Amino acid sequence: MTPAADPAPSKRDRRHAAREKARLAREAEVRRHRRNRWLLQGGLVLGALAVVAIVVLVVVQVAKPAGPGPANMASDGIVLQSDGAQGVEAVRTDAIPAGGTPTATDTADDGRARIVIYQDYLCPACGAFDTTNAEQLEALVTSGDATLELHPISILDRASQGTEYSTRGANAAACVADADPDAFLDVNTALYAQQPGENTRGLTDDEIVELVQGAGVTDPAVESCIRDGAYEDWVADATTRALEGPLPGTDLPAVSGTPTVLVDGQRYEGGLTDAAAFAAFVTEVSGVELPTTDEG
């Protein structure tokens, strides 16, 4: 025998049940809305905090002063000179302090030609100019007839398959200027004598260390400086200053390519592989003649 069926709910009971169901639904909706609002507000707060953290990080990075430059390159370049009796020596200067600015080299007329070169160690035109003129540049400086100010910059990193050879080469030069400045000219010549081609990976750090040691550098600080990339930030800053200008001691507003060769503030625009043309330009601008040498 099947149990008797429960009596059907009355109309009043159905209305009460519907109202109760609606009440529960409203309360659930209120709770859901409140929960979503909390989540949204929490998310906005976290997002705002994240944005603030990012902004603070960017501001700190931008505001953080650049590290100090190498010693003996207060102008962003190293000045080489001689009194005519001694060999080529570097002018000693303090390093550019962290966040500081370069100090332009004194351009007072002392009867010597003032030769300034902005160069990139991966630049083939720079290599051609140095190979052609290194000997007579050294002769001009050694005789006391000229000073030579060399500015390593980095504009050809894109042409070294990601190894940033231009920067690493300039950093190596800065390391030498800082720790063994009197060897700078020999290292400069060696960097061009073993200059890698554009669009190659360039020399490794090991090869650069071997090169500078072969050029006469003995201070162990130079090796660690090269491997650590100690002055790469300075290279970037010095390059920016050269490209944006102004360039001290000349009407030329900024470096637009390498090599930029200046004699007493005037730009040499003759043949880069014509030593006679460059010697004539030095004489024309400064009155200084290339010292004669015995050809035996």
Question: How confident is the model over 125-143, as pLDDT tens digits?
Answer: 999 999 999 999 999 999 9
CB distance 94 to 103 below 8 Å: no
**Contacting residues for 166 by C-beta, under 8 A, at least 6 apart:** 120, 121, 122, 123, 153, 154, 155, 156, 157, 159, 160
Q: For residue 294, is it within any domain? A: no
**Same domain flag for 96 and 162:** yes
**Same domain flag for 260 and 165:** yes
Global pTM value: 0.78
**Same domain flag for 139 and 183:** yes
**Same domain flag for 158 and 236:** yes
**Same domain flag for 115 and 243:** yes
Q: For residue 73, is it within any domain? A: no
**Same domain flag for 122 and 189:** yes
CB atoms within 10 A of CB 186: 18
- Average pLDDT, rounded, for the chain: 86
Work out how many domains the chain is built from and give that number.
2
**CATH assignment of the domain containing 155:** 3.40.30.10
Specify the length of the chain in residues.
Answer: 296
**Same domain flag for 82 and 174:** yes
Model confidence band, residue 67 (pLDDT cutoffs 50, 70, 90): confident
Give pLDDT tens digits for 162-189.
999 999 999 999 999 999 999 999 999 9
**Same domain flag for 144 and 36:** no
**Same domain flag for 114 and 220:** yes
Q: For residue 103, is it within any domain? A: yes
In which domain, by residue range, is 26 found? Answer: 12-64
**Same domain flag for 234 and 178:** yes
**Same domain flag for 151 and 257:** yes
CB atoms within 10 A of CB 252: 16
**Same domain flag for 55 and 91:** no
Q: For residue 1, is it within any domain? A: no
Where is pLDDT greater, at 31 or 289? 289
